[in-house]
Structure 1
Amino acid sequence: MTPPVGARRWMARAIPALAPPAAITALTAVGAIQTHREPLVALALCTVAIVSGAVLVWMDATGWPLVAGLTVLAATVTAACWGEPRNLGWFGMCVIAGWAALTLPPRWAIAMGAALAAEFVIMFTVVSREPGWVTWTFGVALTCGAFVFVRRQRTLVERLHAAQTRLAERARTDERHRIAREMHDLVGHSLTVALLHLGSARLALDDDLHAARAALAEAESAARDSLDDVRAAVGLMRSGDAAAASPAPAVADIPDLVHSYRNAGADIDLDLRGVPAGIAAGRSLIAYRIVQESLTNAVRHGDGGPIKVRLDTTRERIRITVRNGGAPRGRRPAGTGIIAMNERVATLGGTLSAGPSAGGWLVEAVIPA
Structure 2
Amino acid sequence: MRGVVSTPSSSAASGDGAAHAHGAATPAPADGGAPASGDGAGAGPARRPRWRRPPGRLPAPPSWARRRVPWATSAAVFVLQQVGTGFAAHDQRAADSVGLDGTARLLLTLGPLLLPARYRYPRCAVFGTSAVTLAYLAAGYPYGPVLLSVVVAGFAALVAGYRYATWSALGMLWLGNLLVAHTFHRLLPPGDDPPGSWGADLFMLVWMVALCTAGELARVRHAERERRQREAEEAEKRRADEERLRIARELHDVLAHSISVINIQAGVGLALLDSEPAQARTALTTIKAASKEALGEVRQVLDTLRAPGDAPRAPAPGLDRLAELAEQAASAGLRVTTETEGAPVPLPPGADLAAFRVVQEALTNVVRHSGSRTALVRIRYGSTAMELLVDDEGPATGTGPTGGGNGLVGMRERAAAFGGTLEAGPRPGGGFRVLATIPLPPGEGGAPLQ
Q: Which runs of 5+ in 1 are unaligned?
A: 1-7
Shift in Å at residue 292 of structure 1?
Answer: 0.4
Which residue number corresponds to residue 316 of structure 1? 384
Of 215, 223, 226, 1:147 maps to: 215
Shift in Å at residue 177 of structure 1?
Answer: 0.3
Whether 1:101 aligns to 2:158 is: yes
Which residue number corresponds to residue 3 of structure 1? none
Q: Quick one: distance in 1 between partners of 2:173 and 2:247?
A: 61
Which residue number corresponds to residue 355 of structure 1? 425
Task: Spell out the pairing of 1:242-257 with structure 2 (5 A cutoff).
Answer: 242-257=310-325
Whether 1:75 aligns to 2:134 is: yes
Shift in Å at residue 43 of structure 1?
Answer: 5.1
Q: Which structure has more helix as a fraction of its residues?
A: 1
Quick one: structure 1 residues 260 and 57, their matched pair in 2 at CA, closer, same or farther if it must change by over 3 Å? closer
Which residue number corresponds to residue 410 of structure 2? 340
Shift in Å at residue 199 of structure 1?
Answer: 3.1
Task: Spell out the pairing of 1:1-369 with structure 2 (5 A cutoff).
Answer: 10-16=63-69, 25-30=78-83, 33-34=86-87, 35=89, 36-39=99-102, 41-42=103-104, 44-46=106-108, 48-49=110-111, 53=115, 60-62=121-123, 68-76=127-135, 78=137, 82=140, 84-85=142-143, 87-106=144-163, 109=166, 126-128=195-197, 138-330=206-398, 333-358=403-428, 359-369=430-440
What TM-score results when the alignment is normalised by the length of structure 1? 0.80
- Does structure 2 retain, via aligned residues, the 8 Å contact 1:94–1:139? no
The 3-state SS of whatever aligns with 1:355 is: strand
Shift in Å at residue 227 of structure 1?
Answer: 1.3
- Does structure 2 retain, via aligned residues, the 8 Å contact 1:31–1:77? no
Shift in Å at residue 362 of structure 1?
Answer: 2.1
- Does structure 2 retain, via aligned residues, the 8 Å contact 1:97–1:140? no
- Structural RMSD (CA): 3.5
Shift in Å at residue 352 of structure 1?
Answer: 1.3
The AA in structure 2 aligned to 1:37 is L
- Does structure 2 retain, via aligned residues, the 8 Å contact 1:192–1:300? yes
Q: Which runs of 5+ in 2 are unaligned?
A: 1-60, 90-98, 183-193, 441-450
Paired-residue identity, %:
27
What TM-score results when the alignment is normalised by the length of structure 2? 0.67
The 3-state SS of whatever aligns with 2:383 is: coil
Residue range with higher mean Cα deviation, 190-199 or 159-168:
190-199
Quick one: structure 1 residues 301 and 21, their matched pair in 2 at CA, closer, same or farther if it must change by over 3 Å? same
Q: Quick one: distance in 2 between partners of 1:151 and 1:319?
A: 55
Shift in Å at residue 246 of structure 1?
Answer: 1.2
Residue range with higher mean Cα deviation, 117-126 or 90-99:
117-126
Residue range with higher mean Cα deviation, 169-178 or 67-76:
67-76
Q: Quick one: distance in 1 between partners of 2:128 and 2:78?
A: 14
The 3-state SS of whatever aligns with 1:298 is: helix
The AA in structure 2 aligned to 1:340 is G
Residue range with higher mean Cα deviation, 310-319 or 12-21:
12-21
Q: Quick one: distance in 2 between partners of 1:9 and 1:156?
A: 19
**Paired positions, count:** 355
Quick one: structure 1 residues 305 and 76, their matched pair in 2 at CA, closer, same or farther if it must change by over 3 Å? farther
The 3-state SS of whatever aligns with 1:276 is: coil
Q: Deviations over 1:150-186 (max 9, x none)?
A: 2211111111111111111111111110110111122
Shift in Å at residue 344 of structure 1?
Answer: 1.1
The AA in structure 1 aligned to 2:427 is S
Q: Quick one: distance in 2 between partners of 1:109 and 1:299?
A: 72
- Does structure 1 retain, via aligned residues, the 8 Å contact 2:303–2:312? no
The AA in structure 2 aligned to 1:49 is G
Q: Quick one: distance in 1 between partners of 2:331 and 2:373?
A: 15
The AA in structure 2 aligned to 1:346 is A
Q: Quick one: distance in 2 between partners of 1:74 and 1:66?
A: 12
Quick one: structure 1 residues 222 and 201, their matched pair in 2 at CA, closer, same or farther if it must change by over 3 Å? same
Q: Quick one: distance in 1 between partners of 2:117 and 2:285?
A: 82
Q: Quick one: distance in 2 between partners of 1:210 and 1:78?
A: 108
Q: Deviations over 1:44-70 (max 9, x none)?
A: 425643665566655x244xx666435
Q: Quick one: distance in 2 between partners of 1:73 and 1:347?
A: 65
Q: Quick one: distance in 1 between partners of 2:146 and 2:125?
A: 21
Q: Quick one: distance in 1 between partners of 2:246 and 2:210?
A: 53
- Does structure 2 retain, via aligned residues, the 8 Å contact 1:192–1:299? yes
